[in-house]
Amino acid sequence: MRTIAHEKYEAVIGLEVHAQLLTKSKAFAPVTIEYGGAPNTQVTPLCLGHPGTLPVINENLVRYIIKMGLATGCSVARKSIFARKNYFYPDLPKGYQISQYDTPICYDGAINIELEEYDKTIGLTRIHMEEDAGKSIHDQDPYNTLVDLNRAGTPLIEIVSEPDIRTPQEAYAYLSKIKQIVQYLEICDGNMEEGSLRCDANVSVRPRGREKFGTRTELKNMNSFRNVERAIHYEIYRQIDLIEDGGEVVQQTRLWDTSKMETRSMRSKEEAHDYRYFPEPDLPPIIVTDEMLEEIKEELPELADVRQKRFVEEYEMSEVDAVTLTDSKYLADYYEEVTEYLGNPKAASNIVLSEVLRVLNEQSIDIREFTIGADRLSELVKLKEDDKINSSALQKIFNKMLDGDKSAEEYAKEMNLIQVSDSGFLEPIVDEIISNNPDEVQRYKDGKKQLIGFFIGQAMKASKGKANPKLVKDLITEKLDN
Amino acid sequence: MTISEAREKVFSGEVKLRQIVEQYINKIESDNEEINAFVYTDFEGALAQAEEVQNRIDEGSAGKLAGVVMGIKDLICERNKPTTCASEILEGFESVYDATVIKRLKAEDAILIGRVNMDEFAMGSTNEYSKYGAVKNPNNTEMVPGGSSGGSAATVAADMATATLGSDTGGSIRQPASYCGIVGLKPTYGRVSRYGLVAFASSFDCIGPLSHNVEDAARILDVIAGFDERDNTSSHREKSDYVHAVQNPQKNIKIGVPEEFFGEGLDDEIKKSIEDILSKLEAGGAELVPIHLPHTKYGIATYYILATAEASSNLARYDGIRYGHRANKDEMVDELKLEEQALTEKVAAAVGEEKIALQKELAMMDSPLARLYKKSRTEGFGSEVKRRIMLGTYVLSAGYYDAYYGKAQKVRRLIQNDYKEAFEKVDVIVSPTAPTTAFKLGEKLDDPVQMYLNDIFTTTANLAGICGISVPAGTHSNGLPFGIQFMADAFEETKVLNAGRLVELLK
């Protein structure tokens, strides 16, 4: 619980985000990555650290990281080198990780985050590239740790923030923004649950107004945005309580335990690592030329902020709607596809913001996993636009389409929902309703015009939902008003 | 038998290739037990290969090295053959792929008859640090053959193969070539792909040929040189016509004579002999230019800092986890338990500060994993390799990096500049290959610094990344051969081959 004591402190948070890049081959090995392959099947002698093998730089990796740098206002180093980070671990087959040390390829950038009450700029210290290690699996065999090297050598970029973050909410917003950027740049799928985006947090607290940082702890093992927020929240309070109780924060690595909702010390013993970084002799420096930089600038896609503004202007939507629709690049793409098909931005935003988002939220899925493609959805809306179905039919067909792959029109026919706009069919129905409801007719004629809804409803019921409500309305008013 | 001799015999139809292979097999069977150059032979494979190549010879589609039988230093990967680097830690390891140079040799129909001995992981100057035992110098079997490519040099000197491949990190091709009385060529760094060469010091390592004469070296270089997409440090630059350079040597070359390479420590006879050669070359039209390479004196120190630093990292992969030697796990676990028990008892008995110290010790005890690494590596690596891993780890450590590694890198650039300036004035630079002839087995084993000083004339070429060749210069009054070294600027292999050929022509 938040107490007065807690108010005396402020937290200082820096995040290190690892993004797994969407290149077709490993960072330094000419091998294709297919996720979800059986353990140790996506490997070459190089990934296994066999004698005599050599790393080979993946050109895409360099372009991807420069894109990220440009999108976050970083300076791009014209010459940067790789370095070896040396340590022993079974999932690190070479005994060193190829990374960058004192010459990151991108540095000094910034990211703007938006919170409900304020906006803020978070500085980026650096973005560098490195290779991923394999995966140690501790919980599948009671006696052994298993190692899967499929991931070894996978390209990563590490994005290191300045200690500018002050609250768990800011950390959440910062991560969301990173995810949005990497997705817009199409360099990483941004999926933290699957590990393609990973985050470590450095957290310390200090009395408000003090310049000097407190002792920090490093938080690991947070596999969702929510968990990052929770872990930081927990850790801030743990540190404040510790200090308030006369204790001291110990510099250490702490793991977030999702089941217990707490952080705990990873190791009891102190471990000072000396990684003995030195320039990687197997790889030449990366030289970024003016031409290359210009070329990559040209390739930069429209990012969320720009797209949002464009949506407001081009499609005449509210800023709130534009923010919602551009939050995910893939949703924005989807929306624009529907708009283009229909030639009607309003109709497109109506259905995407209501029906589509409802389903995404209910099923907690991404638009990329959504079963109704933009073309099928567009056909559905088109039926309504063309007065072939009414809105209640649209709803019914939409639900049907979620689980089937037929077109909207096929379902409409199958479900007998094609709207009847034939007055020859509708007139007898309307006449019958008028003669069956003399009281309501009288009251309508006495001025209770709202009763028009009642008559339309009756007609819809009688036609089993197939009547074109507009036509019904016209017929009723024609008959009753004259 | 040289490459051209062998080729003439098989292409004229005088002998079948099979007979040549059999001749080498006989020679290996009779001499190798004493020389100890081959550590693995594949006679059956060689004979089968001979049949295939013979067919291509008969068809007229044979490659540039048809007729050539070669031994390969045990640190260049050959698919499905042992690649042990003469180390216990790679006991039983077979490579799953061919090094680029092996692919290229095979594509030109060279027959690879076996794997040859070396100093463990190419660390040594005498070929005494080998899990297979020392190699002996065929000129005098009480003497070392030099190292680390001692097996490669001895194989050629004993005529157990037409030629061999070796590797040169600080002189490991040129120095044994000098001790054994044959030709050894270290190409420019980046001229020959290192893919499949087990790394010792990645920014120095070069694969090159050891052969009976300069032309053979040129013929092999012609096959193995060239860009390789699997090695980002290999050069895109076009190869030169090495064989043509040897067959048409220019006599009016400019030879730089660096004062620094003819000073203290150099054997007088070797010095005089080289001076004689130089006078003859001058008489033949060459111009001798006195030059200075002022940073030469820092060469050995710089080399041993940088090379060991890289080695300490390159050899980290030998951890007993995925391949090679692994310490007995059960024994290791028992050992740890006993240690823990003993320490726990001590803690219980101790008081005060001693207790605290012991408790700390207990808390810092190895995890089983850490202990497995330590034991596997302790058992697997030999003494010289351990020495260099420790040196290299030290010079990269926090607090020492700038004083050692950082400084050595700066000196490396100064040495590079020395050469760069010198090569503006001369075509090649001459020096002895080594300060002495081969010495007795065991003589310098206890004195690593003396051992390292053998590399005094060869390491700077590796520091500068340039090319060098050792060519037999004569025979010492002690009956042993010694070499003369020529160095040329990066990618100027034709110049050292040319100069080497001129020395051969003096005889």
Radius of gyration of chain A (CA): 30
- Quick one: which of B386, B471, B382, B485 has its CA closest to B428? B485
A78 and A226 share a domain? yes
CB contact under 8 A, A278 and B398: no
Is B73 annotated as catalytic? yes
Q: Kindly report the nearest CA distance between residue A146 and chain B, in angstroms.
A: 11
A171 and A228 share a domain? yes
pLDDT band at A1 (very low <50, low <70, confident <90, very high): low
**Closest CB from B194, B203, B312 relative to A54:** B194
- Name the range with the highest mean pLDDT among A185-199, A399-413, B190-204: B190-204
Q: What is the chain A residue with the closest CA to B366?
A: A269
CB contact under 8 A, B202 and A282: yes
Supply the pLDDT for residue B482: 98
- Please report, rounded to a whole number, the percentage of residues in chain A having pLDDT higher than 90: 57
CB contact under 8 A, B397 and A276: yes
Give me the catalytic one of B130, B149, B172, B431: B172
Supply the pLDDT for residue B16: 97
A408 and A375 share a domain? yes
| B309 within domain boundaries | no
Last residue of a domain, one of A414, A435, A463: A414
Q: What is the domain count for chain B?
A: 2
Supply the pLDDT for residue A153: 84
Q: Which domain holds residue B369?
A: 314-403
Average pLDDT over chain B reads: 96
Give me the catalytic one of B64, B73, B106, B444: B73
- Residue B187 DSSP code: P
A214 and A122 share a domain? yes
Indicate the range of A239-243, A416-420, B102-106, B466-470 predicted with least confidence: A416-420
Q: Which residue has the higher pLDDT, A423 or A453?
A: A453
Q: What is the chain B residue with the closest CA to A85?
A: B313
Q: How many residues does chain B have?
A: 507
Summary count for chain A: helices (H), strands (E): 17, 16
- Residue A196 DSSP code: S
CB contact under 8 A, B197 and A52: yes
**Residue A119: partners with Cβ closer than 8 Å, 6 or more residues away:** A112, A113
Q: Which helix (H) or strand (E) holds B204?
A: none
pLDDT band at A154 (very low <50, low <70, confident <90, very high): confident
Give the burial class of A442: count Cβ atoms within 10 A of its Cβ; 0-12 exposed, 13-18 middle, 19 or more buried: exposed
pLDDT band at A27 (very low <50, low <70, confident <90, very high): low
B18 and B70 share a domain? yes
Indicate the range of A298-302, A435-439, B227-231, B469-473 predicted with least confidence: A435-439
Beta strands in A311-460 (DSSP E): none
Interface residue A281 vs chain B (CB under 8 A): yes
| B307 within domain boundaries | no
- Quick one: which of B38, B115, B68 has its CA closest to B211? B68
B293 and B323 share a domain? no
Last residue of a domain, one of A389, A414, A439: A414
B278 and B343 share a domain? no
Tens digits of residue pLDDT in B98-145? 999 999 999 999 999 999 999 999 999 999 999 999 999 999 999 999
Interface residue A102 vs chain B (CB under 8 A): no
DSSP-derived pairing of the beta strands A217-222 and A253-257: parallel
Is B507 annotated as catalytic? no
**Closest CB from A93, A278, A281 relative to B322:** A93
| B184 within domain boundaries | yes
Is B178 annotated as catalytic? no
* pLDDT(A270) > 60: no
Q: What is the domain count for chain A?
A: 3
A167 and A236 share a domain? yes
Cα separation, B480 vs B474, in Å, equals 9
CB contact under 8 A, A282 and B232: yes
The whole-number average pLDDT for the span A226-254 is: 94
B291 and B344 share a domain? no
**Closest CB from B95, B229, B321 relative to A52:** B95
Supply the pLDDT for residue B333: 94
Supply the pLDDT for residue B184: 98
Supply the pLDDT for residue A61: 83
A359 and A459 share a domain? no
Which tokens hold the place of B219? Answer: 């013929």
pLDDT band at B69 (very low <50, low <70, confident <90, very high): very high
B264 and B333 share a domain? no
| B171 within domain boundaries | yes
B135 and B241 share a domain? yes
ipTM for the assembly? 0.94
Q: Which helix (H) or strand (E) holds B483?
A: strand B481-488
3-state SS, one letter per residue, for B59-77: HCCCCCCCCCEEEEECCEC
In this structure, what CATH number is given to the domain that contains residue B117? Answer: 3.90.1300.10
Q: Which residue has the higher pLDDT, B455 or B206?
A: B206
B/e letters for B258-279, b = 16+ CB within 10 Å, e = fewer, are bebbbeeebbebbeebbeebbe
**Closest CB from B198, B201, B313 relative to A52:** B198
- Name the range with the highest mean pLDDT among A16-30, A100-114, B443-457: A100-114
Question: What angle in degrees, to the nearest 10, is found between the helix axes of A168-185 and A304-315?
Answer: 80
B180 and B272 share a domain? yes
| A297 within domain boundaries | no
Q: Which residues pair with A20 in a beta bridge?
A: A156
Q: Is B473 in a helix, a strand, or coil? A: strand
Interface residue A96 vs chain B (CB under 8 A): yes
| B411 within domain boundaries | no
A276 and A313 share a domain? no
- Quick one: which of A14, A160, A52 has its CA closest to A99? A160
A77 and A97 share a domain? yes
Supply the pLDDT for residue A269: 43
* pLDDT(A258) > 90: no
Tens digits of residue pLDDT in B383-437? 999 999 999 999 999 999 999 999 999 999 999 999 999 999 999 999 999 999 9
B488 and B346 share a domain? no
A60 and A40 share a domain? yes
Question: What angle in degrees, to the nearest 10, is found between the helix axes of B17-35 and B43-59?
Answer: 150
B268 and B171 share a domain? yes
Tens digits of residue pLDDT in B328-355? 999 999 999 999 999 999 999 999 999 9
* pLDDT(A179) > 80: yes
| A182 within domain boundaries | yes
Tens digits of residue pLDDT in B203-216? 999 999 999 999 99
The whole-number average pLDDT for the span A419-429 is: 77
- A and B: number of Cβ contacts within 8 A: 102
Query: Distance of CA A4 to CAs A7, A10, B435, Å?
Result: 5, 12, 80
Q: Kindly report the nearest CA distance between residue A217 and chain B, in angstroms.
A: 21
B170 and B74 share a domain? yes
Cα separation, A125 vs A14, in Å, equals 10
A435 and A467 share a domain? yes
Tens digits of residue pLDDT in B286-325? 999 999 999 999 999 999 999 999 999 999 999 999 999 9
Radius of gyration of chain B (CA): 24
A395 and A444 share a domain? no
* pLDDT(A271) > 60: no
Q: Which residues of B touch A50 (CB under 8 A)?
A: 95-97, 323
Last residue of a domain, one of B373, B403, B433: B403
Supply the pLDDT for residue A268: 45
Tens digits of residue pLDDT in B133-182? 999 999 999 999 999 999 999 999 999 999 999 999 999 999 999 999 99
- Quick one: which of B144, B122, B148 has its CA closest to B135? B144
Last residue of a domain, one of B339, B369, B403: B403
B341 and B437 share a domain? no
Q: What is the chain A residue with the closest CA to B99?
A: A52
Cα separation, B407 vs B412, in Å, equals 9
| B23 within domain boundaries | yes
Q: Which domain holds residue A126?
A: 2-292
B79 and B191 share a domain? yes
In this structure, what CATH number is given to the domain that contains residue A472? Answer: 1.10.10.410
Last residue of a domain, one of B346, B370, B403: B403
A56 and A171 share a domain? yes
Average pLDDT over chain A reads: 89
SS3 content of chain B, % helix, strand, coil (to 5): 50, 15, 40
- Please report, rounded to a whole number, the percentage of residues in chain A having pLDDT higher than 70: 95
